[in-house]
């Protein structure tokens, strides 16, 4: 497995394929890899000629320095996980200065309202930070395909909008959320949960499944009210939001319309570990 830490070395290597029919697949990560990440890597390897995986803990998308400092990091484990791919992928592990130089600054973008609700309402400048680094990584790697998981669906939609608005020749590939046997969406933050907390966290998926199972028979307001009441009775978990929104504009709604795809979104804290999840409803 080829590993690059500098932009110049990576781009020099990738330039060799610029005049060929080769297709570059890109899987950007913040490390602390799990089976969800691996499913993206596997999909890229199947679809692309060359797969680049980046590991970069991006400081600009964290509103809370404590959250950044406590984010799970295990570079040795990540390297062992990817090493089994041998020559099937390229690993890019830049330092902060390599990406941002001496000026770690978040750029401002317009997201046409996709950032107004859910994570946008609670995490301030988060999505500006995400797109700041995504834009930079896209400039470096110049991928034909980029693979993102549906677990962070709002982020996925914002990246799709960014690519469309900039007329970039990058195809964003949506990848299904990977889950543990109890339904809990795989996340790097899960590593901070003990077994008891993981059991409590499984209630997020139960809520989403309830919404899906009852979407055709109950009004949206009834679904939301039912779930909020259930969470009030569960100890050890604090529901931050549960809402249903259209998949395109991500506007929360209490009314169903024909021909519109809907998705349920949830965020909650278990022992101060914040988890998010979502599921398509129709």
- Token pair 């005049």: residue: 19
Alpha-carbon radius of gyration of the chain: 19
CA distance 114 to 233: 32
Q: What pLDDT does 15 receive?
A: 93
Residue 202, classed as helix, strand or coil, is helix
Ramachandran bin of 172, using left for φ above 0, alpha for ψ from -120 to 50, beta for the remaining angles: beta
**All domains of the chain in start order, with CATH:** 2-175 (3.40.50.620), 188-277 (3.30.1300.10)
Mean pLDDT value of segment 187-195: 93
Query: Could you tell me the pLDDT band of residue 122, with boundaries at 50, 70 and 90?
Result: confident
Single pTM value for the model: 0.95
User: Per-residue pLDDT tens for 57-87?
Assistant: 999 999 877 888 888 899 999 999 999 998 8
Q: What's the pLDDT score for residue 235? A: 95
Each residue of 126-171: pLDDT tens digit? 999 999 999 999 999 999 999 999 999 999 999 999 999 999 999 9
Share of the chain above pLDDT 70, in %: 100
Q: Give the model confidence (pLDDT) of 17-33 as tens digits.
A: 888 899 999 999 999 99
pLDDT tens digits, 226-258: 999 999 999 999 999 999 999 999 999 999 999
Count other Cβ atoms within 10 Å, centred on residue 97: 10
pLDDT band at 102 (very low <50, low <70, confident <90, very high): very high
Supply the residues annotated as catalytic. 37
pLDDT of the residue at 72:
87
Does residue 267 carry a pLDDT above 80? yes
Q: Does residue 124 surpass a pLDDT of 80?
A: no
């Amino acid at each position: 497995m080829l590993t690059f830490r500098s932009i110049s070395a990576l781009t020099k290597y990738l330039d060799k394929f610029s005049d060929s029919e080769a297709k570059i697949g890109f899987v950007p990560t913040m490390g602390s890899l799990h089976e969800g990440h691996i499913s993206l890597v596997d999909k890229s390897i199947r679809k692309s000629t060359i797969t680049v995986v980046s590991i970069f803990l991006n400081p600009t998308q964290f509103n809370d320095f404590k959250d950044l400092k406590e984010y799970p990091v295990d570079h040795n484990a990540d390297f062992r996980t990817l090493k089994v791919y041998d020559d099937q992928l390229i690993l890019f592990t830049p330092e902060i200065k390599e990406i941002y130089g001496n000026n770690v600054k978040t750029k401002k973008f317009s997201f046409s309202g996709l950032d107004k609700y859910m994570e946008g309402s609670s995490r301030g400048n988060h999505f500006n930070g995400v797109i700041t680094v995504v834009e930079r990584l896209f400039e470096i790697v110049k991928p034909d395909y980029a693979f993102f998981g549906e677990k962070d669906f709002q982020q996925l939609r914002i990246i799709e909008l960014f690519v469309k608005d900039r007329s970039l020749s990058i195809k964003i590939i949506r990848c299904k959320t990977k889950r543990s046997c109890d339904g809990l969406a795989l996340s790097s933050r899960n590593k901070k949960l003990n077994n008891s907390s993981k059991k409590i966290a499984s209630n997020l998926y139960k809520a989403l499944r309830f919404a899906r199972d009852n979407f055709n028979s109950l009004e949206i307001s009834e679904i939301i009210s039912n779930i909020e009441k259930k969470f009030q009775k569960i100890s050890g978990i604090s529901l931050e939001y549960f809402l249903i929104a259209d998949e395109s504009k991500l506007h929360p709604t209490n009314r169903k319309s024909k021909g519109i795809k809907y998705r349920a979104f949830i965020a909650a804290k278990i022992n101060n570990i914040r988890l998010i999840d979502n599921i398509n409803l129709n």
